[in-house]
Homo-oligomer: A and B are copies of this chain.
């Protein structure tokens, strides 16, 4: 397979290198990643500035390009410039392996997920892959799973505008119990700010948050991980709240006057 590999931790991050080395054992891999860390950039794109692309001189069985932009920029450049020059469309976009999980509300902040969603918009089957440990992540487990998953899962099952959000426990591969289909949960953060004063007398604030895990859904993404499973959640870019739309339509019939 031809694999476009992106991330949001930046091109020098260990997670993307681990993914590239594992995947290139069996596949043709092109790495196209932000030259600097882009965590929690969300689905940003660079419109007001142009993008610079630099091919790195590396001694590896894959190509590596550093882009002066976000994960979504990297997917666009990867598809519309790098792969276009080769005359091929890649078979899959892989975004990751991210340092830290992307569960619940993380999904909308995550540059890793946005890389996969950008591939999904372009019509290429796409996976976001994260390891659920920020401190000392075991990337090899996720990389091994990725190799196996790409062999066994028929990517054609993923429709356009949808991607798979995969989260892997940070434990040795042989301790993983399996993978499980899950739903994006209500896992979220109770934010608070720590106030400090800088050397120039100005107040500034560090954002902190406590994790809230109170989703009653047994399919909640984070529950799979807590039980030693890899979570696989199909996510779409279409965010319409269909239930509320139906409710409101029943209440407000047809077009509403504003005079």
Binding site for B on A (CB under 8 A): 37, 39-48, 50-54, 70, 72-73, 76-77, 80-81, 105, 107-109, 114, 117, 121-122, 145, 148, 157-159, 161-162, 173, 176-181, 183-184, 186, 188, 191-193, 195-196, 198, 202-207, 229-230, 233-242, 244-245, 247-249, 251-252, 255-258
Contacts and interface: CB of A to CB of B under 8 A. Distances in A.
A161 B186 contact: yes
A44 B258 CA distance: 34
22 contacts: A40-B46, A40-B47, A42-B42, A46-B207, A53-B203, A72-B109, A77-B205, A81-B195, A81-B205, A108-B117, A108-B237, A157-B244, A157-B251, A162-B244, A178-B256, A181-B252, A183-B242, A184-B238, A230-B258, A233-B240, A234-B245, A235-B239
A44 B41 contact: yes
A202 B77 CA distance: 16
Contact of A157 (B41, B109, B234, B248): B248
Given A50-B196, A204-B52, A241-B234, A255 B40 contact: no
Contact of A50 (B45, B54, B204): B204
A77 B46 CA distance: 25
B239 A239 contact: yes
State how many copies of this chain the complex holds: 2
Contacts of A109: 43-45, 72
Contacts of A70: 42
Contacts of A162: 241, 244
A206 B80 CA distance: 12
Given A162-B241, A239-B236, A249 B45 contact: no
Contacts of A203: 52-53
Nearest to A221: B240
Residue among A45, A159, A249 with max Cβ neighbours from chain B (10 Å): A45
Contacts of A177: 255
Contacts of A43: 42-43, 108-109
Contact of A179 (B80, B81, B256): B256
Nearest to A174: B259
A237 B237 contact: no
Of all A-B residue pairs in the complex, the 6 with the closest CB atoms, nearest first, are A42-B42, A42-B43, A236-B241, A42-B44, A235-B239, A234-B241
A205 B52 CA distance: 6
